[in-house]
Amino acid sequence: MPNFKTILAIDTVHPLYSIAIINSNDVVSEISTKKDEKPSEQIIELLDNSLLQANLGMHDLDCITVGVGPGNFTGIRVGISFAKGIAFALNIKCFGINRFQTLIDSDLPTLGIISTRENLFYTQMFIKKKPISDPIEENLIKILNTKYAKDTIISGDHALTISQKLGLNYGKETSISKASELGFCLKDLDTNGLMPSPIYVKEPDAKLPLEPAPKFL
């Protein structure tokens, strides 16, 4: 991973928006707030307050990390657009961080779990902190009936309960991440930077009609 001194981390994939600034591996500022009706204005205010708290300016930033989902549709797009705009203006690197990456703490096989609604979860398997499968949606029965290696760790929503049922160890007990965790995920990336894009496990419910639109005379 490139050696970035000052990292701006933006996490807007949850109802709780957060921004962190990491300088030389220390979190020098981290602010969070609940999403309101004007998310774009809200994230700008969070950034201003974070920079003020850290006693830094925009041109002190070396790179940006931003959460790309899965999560809140509007939040994902607001965060990514905001991060891309700043990165372009400052000519710095911008990294997209998969929400599952914040659930992985070791090289052991780890199943990341994000609850979507009752008994339905997004899951992704990692080994040595690298994904070995695409994120999928599974119900609880399928998760419990899957065979896992004995050293597998369950990490994320309901991890404690699910790991006990499977006789496995658990990591984090929630999938709600902090912005600072996105910044620390950079150490596990082997890329020199890329423009982030949203991760949606499922296609949107709203789709274009198959029939052509009627013609008006």
pLDDT digits 0-9 by tens, 181-207? 999 998 777 555 557 889 888 765 545
Closest Cα to residue 196, out of 34, 57, 88? Answer: 88
Question: What are the C-alpha distances in Å from 82 to residues 4, 27, 51, 101, 142?
Answer: 20, 21, 15, 21, 37
Tell me how far apart the alpha carbons of residues 65 and 83 are, in angstroms, rounded to a whole number: 8
- Provide the residue count of the chain: 217
The pLDDT tens digits of the residues spanning 9-52 come to: 999 998 889 999 999 889 999 999 887 767 778 899 999 999 99
What global pTM score does this model have? 0.86
pLDDT in tens, 93-105: 999 999 999 999 9
In the chain, which residue ranges form alpha helices assigned H by DSSP?
Answer: 39-54, 73-90, 140-144, 159-166, 179-184
Written as one letter, the residue type at 1 is M
Enumerate domains of the chain plus CATH numbers: 6-99+176-188 (3.30.420.40), 106-170 (3.30.420)
Residues 78-130 have pLDDT tens digits of 999 999 999 999 999 999 999 999 999 999 999 999 999 888 999 999 999 99
